[in-house]
Amino acid sequence: MSAKRSNKKGRRQVADDAPPEPGRREALKKLGALGALALLDVGALTSCGRRLSSPQMERERKLLILGIDGLDARITERMMARGELPNLRRLRDTGGFGSVTSTIPPQSPAAWASLITGRDPGGHGIFDFVHRDAETYETVSSGTATAPPKYTIPVGQWQVPLSGSQVESLRHGTAFWDRLAERGIPCEVHRVPANFPPTDSGAKQMAGLGVPDARGTLGTCSYYSDVPLGPNQGLETHSVRVANGVVRARLNGPRNSLRNGWPTTSVELGVYLDGHSRVAKIAVQDQEIILRQREWSDWVPVRFVMVPQVKTITGICRFYLKEVTPNFKLYVTPVQFDPLDPALPIAAPAGFAGELASRHGRFHTLGLPEDTSALGGGALDDDEYLHQAGLCLEEARRIWESALAEFDRGLLFYYFGYTDRNQHVFWRASDPRHPAFEPRLGREYGGIVEDCYRLSDELAGEALQASDDDTTLIVVSDHGFAPFYRKFYLNAWLANNGYLSMRDVSEGAPIATGAVWSETLAYGIGLNGLYLNLAGRESRGIVSQEQRESLLRRLVKDLYAIRDPDTGDAVFSDVALTDEVYSDALPALTPDLILGYAPGYRSGVASALGRMTSEELRDNTNKWSGDHCIDRDAVPGIVLSNRALRRERVSLPDITATALAEFGLNRPDDVLGQSIL
């Protein structure tokens, strides 16, 4: 059909048999007359393109990777061209700059999983932020699974486990630092996504994106007020009454899996208000905190009792006294695991989180700590959200700075996610074409997106400062960014075009229970995934293997043909057949098609969560206004190094291969990339 589709074969991520020769020849050409000398110095490139090094050298070599989520190649270049981002420019001019081709789809968990394992999503098994259960058609977490204890005995109202319940990572493939740690190379890895729970390989790791809050969600804040806020995702609103200047409420914690029916645990919250002074005292357990209006508390540890005297789970949260008068408004961050006493394995070795917390103070442990849901739901306004995100950034930078100062050998890999979240929610302020744009927003917050790049530049500067001649520095992002003007509801489109048959046509009806599966050919779950209702794979599948090929062909044709009635633009610029784009496939798990939206479009959340809507397309007036879960070619990331790059276009598995090569390790067969240095 389009030229785009014809080059599909070319987009298969660099395969095992891709020769390293051209890259190396490039490098040699650049070296010019100094080539021979330089070769001696670098210790060289041997005939097979791999560096020779003794075990001693492996241990003294230093690789510093600064992973920054969502830095876009075009925005970076535009700002560098204006003379901004001095540290990134210095890296580009003295080392190398390249653009990163993200994964299909370019979603953070899938992309970082590729960067750390060297596999594509077909190999590491993370295709989207949610997957579907082929048995029930329900949405399930793509990153982790919790296996309930195998045996429990009921004792009164308790369920006493005879074996511990376990959290299991669903990511396939080996993280490159696990391979390095095996060779005795010291590794320290902070907050890299798709690494929860971390493996016990000897590498020091603090998990990041993927770690739930204490309630097992991506982050559910609590909001207490005497003026109700509508129901919202990621928000728990409590309607409270102020009586004699006192508010009594409860703060919910984890569900108690040790008791019949898994009731939610909670603790009492007392708030004493003085409207005249605009201060309040919050009493929780044996702690009291006084806050002025618009003040944030430090982390407050809260103990949730599972079995009295025997088992408690400690969570931490921050309180924000939004308003005392005329109305009472109190925001509480999602309750997160306490790094000093984590109930789940958020670090490896187990004591690493506690070690960091006792040195630097308590810090957020939630994978997505910036509370964009509270912003979207109105619990926090723009300034309040920025402050909350800023607190998370401060904590992350404190640990980053000390890790840098102490870095003397091996690998240090540090990840920042702040840049991704702020671009997501503030794109609307710097793009006058966005449906949520207002001139006032532009004046006040128009610089936030570019501030993300200035921050990254500062971090890169700190990394450069900490790098000596033995250090290889890599600054890398997983994908770029694009506007999100219009929401597309795939399931509505599938229903309107005869692919999906619904019994329940009410707004928001879940397809798992509302669809007539005996008449359904295809359905959507996740931001980019489309699944056929395949016989033998789906529990009530009707599409046979023989029909599959022609049905996919028809779907691809129909999806490319979709036009936005308002603009006449195509909604999709790339519809990928997973059979073609992945080197490997986990047949039960892999979607049949990955939909690459054209810039400006993205899936509506309702459809991604497997729900039906009446509309197919709608303006996006949300705060969540920029996105990257689209055609990967529309959202290139960046890579910079203090060493010259062999290529200007880099795939995420190339970073895996590079990290291994830096320490003289052979590229394992499942790693698709090639070293870029």
Catalog residues that contact another protein under the rule CB under 8 A: 244-246, 272, 274, 276-281, 288, 290, 292
Least separation, in Å, of the C-beta of 193 and Zn ion? 7
Looking at beta carbons only, is 280 or 638 nearer to another protein? 280
578 Cβ neighbours under 8 A, 6+ residues apart: 122, 585, 590, 591, 592, 593, 594
Tell me the chain's radius of gyration from C-alpha atoms. Answer: 26
Least separation, in Å, of the C-beta of 665 and Zn ion? 27
Looking at beta carbons only, is 20 or 275 nearer to another protein? 275
Looking at beta carbons only, is 268 or 566 nearer to another protein? 268
- Considering CB distances under 5 to 8 angstroms, the limit depending on partner class, which of another protein, Zn ion, none binds residue 245? another protein
- B/e letters for 47-61, b = 16+ CB within 10 Å, e = fewer, are eebbbebeeeebeeb
Looking at beta carbons only, is 15 or 246 nearer to another protein? 246
From CA 224, how far away is CA 459, in angstroms rounded? 37
Q: How many Cβ atoms are within 10 Å of 338's Cβ, its own excluded?
A: 24
Q: Tokens 């503030």 map to which residue?
A: 426
Looking at beta carbons only, is 297 or 547 nearer to another protein? 297
From CA 359, how far away is CA 357, in angstroms rounded? 5
- Which of 613, 617, 616 has the alpha carbon at shortest distance from 502? 613
**161 forms bridges with which residues in the sheet?**
152
- Considering CB distances under 5 to 8 angstroms, the limit depending on partner class, which of another protein, Zn ion, none binds residue 307? none
| Contact of 330 with 319, CB cutoff 8 Å | yes
- B/e letters for 228-254, b = 16+ CB within 10 Å, e = fewer, are eeeebebbbbbebebeeeebebebbbb
Least separation, in Å, of the C-beta of 332 and another protein? 19
- Considering CB distances under 5 to 8 angstroms, the limit depending on partner class, which of another protein, Zn ion, none binds residue 249? none
From CA 609, how far away is CA 426, in angstroms rounded? 24
Least separation, in Å, of the C-beta of 420 and Zn ion? 5
Looking at beta carbons only, is 108 or 388 nearer to Zn ion? 108
Looking at beta carbons only, is 248 or 554 nearer to another protein? 248
- Considering CB distances under 5 to 8 angstroms, the limit depending on partner class, which of Zn ion, another protein, none binds residue 279? another protein
275 Cβ neighbours under 8 A, 6+ residues apart: 245, 324, 325
Looking at beta carbons only, is 95 or 193 nearer to Zn ion? 193
Q: Is 272 helix (H, G, I), strand (E, B) or coil?
A: strand
- Considering CB distances under 5 to 8 angstroms, the limit depending on partner class, which of another protein, Zn ion, none binds residue 108? Zn ion
- Considering CB distances under 5 to 8 angstroms, the limit depending on partner class, which of Zn ion, another protein, none binds residue 69? Zn ion
Looking at beta carbons only, is 319 or 481 nearer to another protein? 319
Which helix (H) or strand (E) segment holds residue 419: the answer is helix 418-430
Q: List C-alpha distances in Å: 384 to 49, 324, 329.
A: 52, 16, 13
Least separation, in Å, of the C-beta of 108 and Zn ion? 3
Least separation, in Å, of the C-beta of 370 and Zn ion? 13
From CA 457, how far away is CA 89, in angstroms rounded? 9
Q: How many Cβ atoms are within 10 Å of 196's Cβ, its own excluded?
A: 24
Least separation, in Å, of the C-beta of 102 and Zn ion? 8
- Considering CB distances under 5 to 8 angstroms, the limit depending on partner class, which of Zn ion, another protein, none binds residue 246? another protein
Point out which residues bind Zn ion (CB under 5 A): 69-70, 108, 420, 478
Q: List C-alpha distances in Å: 177 to 83, 412, 666, 670.
A: 36, 10, 14, 15
Looking at beta carbons only, is 9 or 276 nearer to another protein? 276
- Considering CB distances under 5 to 8 angstroms, the limit depending on partner class, which of Zn ion, another protein, none binds residue 516? none
Q: Is 211 helix (H, G, I), strand (E, B) or coil?
A: coil
- Considering CB distances under 5 to 8 angstroms, the limit depending on partner class, which of Zn ion, another protein, none binds residue 263? none
Least separation, in Å, of the C-beta of 579 and another protein? 58
Residue 79: burial class (beta carbons within 10 Å; 0-12, 13-18, 19+): middle
**151 forms bridges with which residues in the sheet?**
none
Looking at beta carbons only, is 67 or 315 nearer to Zn ion? 67
Least separation, in Å, of the C-beta of 246 and another protein? 6
- Considering CB distances under 5 to 8 angstroms, the limit depending on partner class, which of another protein, Zn ion, none binds residue 529? none
Least separation, in Å, of the C-beta of 274 and another protein? 5
The DSSP letter of residue 292 is E
Least separation, in Å, of the C-beta of 76 and Zn ion? 15
Looking at beta carbons only, is 292 or 553 nearer to another protein? 292
Give the helix ranges, DSSP H, for 118-259.
Answer: 121-124, 176-182
Least separation, in Å, of the C-beta of 349 and another protein? 17
- Considering CB distances under 5 to 8 angstroms, the limit depending on partner class, which of Zn ion, another protein, none binds residue 35? none
Q: Helices 86-94 and 73-81, interaxial angle, to 10°?
A: 100
Least separation, in Å, of the C-beta of 56 and another protein? 36
- Considering CB distances under 5 to 8 angstroms, the limit depending on partner class, which of another protein, Zn ion, none binds residue 478? Zn ion
- Considering CB distances under 5 to 8 angstroms, the limit depending on partner class, which of another protein, Zn ion, none binds residue 280? another protein
Q: Which amino acid is at 429?
A: A
Looking at beta carbons only, is 167 or 279 nearer to another protein? 279
Least separation, in Å, of the C-beta of 275 and another protein? 10
Q: Tokens 């290529």 map to which residue?
A: 647
Looking at beta carbons only, is 288 or 470 nearer to another protein? 288
- Considering CB distances under 5 to 8 angstroms, the limit depending on partner class, which of another protein, Zn ion, none binds residue 278? another protein
- Which of 418, 285, 322 has the alpha carbon at shortest distance from 364? 418
Q: Tokens 């501030």 map to which residue?
A: 451
Q: Is 15 helix (H, G, I), strand (E, B) or coil?
A: coil
